[in-house]
Amino acid sequence: MKKIYLFILLTVIMSACHQKEENQDLKQEEMINEECLICKEHLIYLEKEEMMECAVCHQQFSSKTRCVNGHFVCDDCHRSGIDSIFQFCLQETSKNPVEILEKMMKMSFCHMHGPEHHILVGSALLTAYKNVGGDIDLSEALLEMMKRGKQVPGGACGYWGACGAGISTGMFVSIISKATPMSEESWGLSNLMTSQALERLGSIGGPRCCKRDSYLSILAAIDFVKEHFNVEMEKPEIHCSRHQLNNQCIGSRCPFNPEYKGEK
């Protein structure tokens, strides 16, 4: 009798585990196809701008991006909730900007791709920079990063020829060096930082991946700040955990992909 009972119990447990795995696989499949925030279908990038109504706030905007079903979400709605990083960064103690970025990318407002990364990269760098002894008012710096980062629209990587993650590193250097259009050395350093980040992105090529581009930009900034500011932030090995969620993943061409065979 005990053997029968144990057999039934084992069968139930195995069935439950199998069902859980199927549910996880199903969830994974759903996430793989998620691009549009409304219907999860693929996005389309147009050559010319069109007037579109945001499916969330219903305001009219001129844009080149919508999904195959016609849904458009404006940048403000896309990154809604990003203000929560302000208190997070002020309380964060890590000296590793990639670790800080990862924590923020796990927050509910952050998607696989989107203009939120234009703010996250610089914010992660500012926070780590402060935590290793950088002389800045982090509260003021984060507010400035938020204001500047919001001015870089989604799709800038392709339409402007300058990825927002790379630009975010230039904003970071501009903020810590107090650069203005009339500065000399700090003006040069800010633009040099952006150019070095964009060079790393451009040398790999597209399609865009906001995670890959954010990682590459932060790594470039870590090296740059060590050389030019004599401030050393922690620089980790990065292994992408989201490549299966990116419909346009470049696979073995990405230095953070498990299949990558080149030099890092």
pLDDT at residue 20, rounded to an integer:
47
| Tokens describing residue 231 | 């401030």
Q: Give the model confidence (pLDDT) of 77-104 as tens digits.
A: 988 889 999 999 999 999 999 999 999 9
Task: Write down the domain spans for the chain.
Answer: 81-253
178-181: Cβ within 8 A, 24+ apart: none
Q: Count CB atoms within 10 A of the CB of residue 80.
A: 16
The confidence band for 36, taking pLDDT boundaries of 50, 70 and 90, is confident
pLDDT at 1: 52
Task: Give the largest Cα separation in the chain, rounded.
Answer: 87
Q: Using CA atoms, how far apart are residues 96 and 167, in angstroms rounded to an integer?
A: 20
Find where tokens 């549910």 sit: 23
Q: Count of alpha carbons within 13 Å of 83, Cβ hemisphere only?
A: 4
Q: State pTM to two decimals.
A: 0.82
Q: Is 129 helix (H, G, I), strand (E, B) or coil?
A: helix
Specify whether the CB–CB gap between 163 and 206 falls below 8 A.
no
Is residue 164 scored above 70 in pLDDT? yes
**If you average pLDDT over residues 235-243, what whole number do you get?**
94
